[in-house]
A and B are shown apart, each in its own frame.
Chain A
Amino acid sequence: MTPQRINIHQIAKLTALAIVLNMFEFFLPSPIYGVKPGIANIIILFAFVKFNFQSAVYISLIRVFVSSLLLGTFLTPSFFLSLFGALISLLFLYFCKFLSKNLFSLFSFSILSALGHIIGQFIIVRIFIIPDNGIFYLLPIFLLFGFIFSLINAYVLTKVITSSN
């Protein structure tokens, strides 16, 4: 799959879609507080695979800011968690850029960015919100859920891309 050129209209459309998915996810009930499927990441991965890394950065960061404004969580702890999770996730995606496209597909990118998101959040929680090593007991639970949901997201995105081709 060759990367295509992207213009600002496409970024705006994809960002709007990501925000809608993020809002939808906010109203989903969750068995454990904080475990979310992260369906907005489907859009970010789509932009990363179909277009380029830069567009994924735009969409991810605009989504974080706009959805926090809409939900009223701007500059609250949950906004910073979301922001740093997104930043570390993008960092992992940046390293994914150097993986061979013949050997690695969306599944790898999805798993790595989801795990990056969770690791980023835990770093921020450990430093600023709950400065105690006890929170790392929650790490494996969140990593496991993130792993499962990232596989589901990657599968959904693969279906979307194959059907759109």
Chain B
Amino acid sequence: MFKLFKPGDLVIFIICFFSIILIFINFYRVPSGSFISIENNNQTKEYSLSSKSVIELEGITIEINSGRVRVVKSSCKNQYCIMQGWISKLNQSILCLPNLTKISIKSNDNNITHDSTAY
């Protein structure tokens, strides 16, 4: 009699399944950045993401807290920058055009900035 499923199969099944899941997580994880750069009125400043601080600039207030950034207060009309909320992933950014401000998350490691794959 030919048995359908044997104990060793279960072991191989589990090992292969979890290694595929691990490869999936490893390749499709969005890397988090290490610092943020704030461009305001043609001046660029860089801040560490791990610090906990509130930065006040002309007409705009930015809060950094445990690896995330958001705009707290802004003098602009539509308040889109505040509505966007927190950003924490690499290459995400918040723009506030009336205040001429761009906040973006960057990384020192250039190898993990792929955003497309040629097929």
Contact = CB atoms under 8 A, between A and B. Distances in A.
A108 B23 contact: no
Nearest to B16: A111
B119 A111 contact: no
Contacts of B23: 139-140, 143
A139 B2 CA distance: 33
Contact of B9 (A107, A130, A132, A135): A107
Contacts of A115: 16
A1 interface: yes
A115 to B, nearest CB: 6
The A interface, classified by DSSP as helix, strand, loop or mixed, is: helix
A161 B4 CA distance: 10
Given A139-B27, A140-B20, A108 B8 contact: yes
Given A137-B27, A139-B27, A140-B28, A105 B20 contact: no
16 contacts: A99-B8, A102-B6, A104-B8, A104-B12, A105-B5, A105-B6, A108-B6, A108-B8, A108-B12, A108-B13, A134-B118, A136-B27, A139-B23, A140-B28, A158-B2, A162-B2
Given A105-B3, A137-B117, 7 more contacts: A1-B2, A103-B7, A103-B8, A105-B5, A108-B8, A108-B13, A143-B23
Interface of A: 1, 99-100, 102-105, 107-108, 111-112, 115, 130, 132, 134-140, 143-144, 147, 158, 161-162, 165
Interface of B: 1-9, 12-13, 16-17, 20, 23-24, 27-28, 114, 117-119
The 9 closest A-B pairs by CB, nearest first: A103-B8, A104-B8, A107-B9, A140-B24, A134-B117, A108-B12, A140-B23, A105-B6, A143-B20
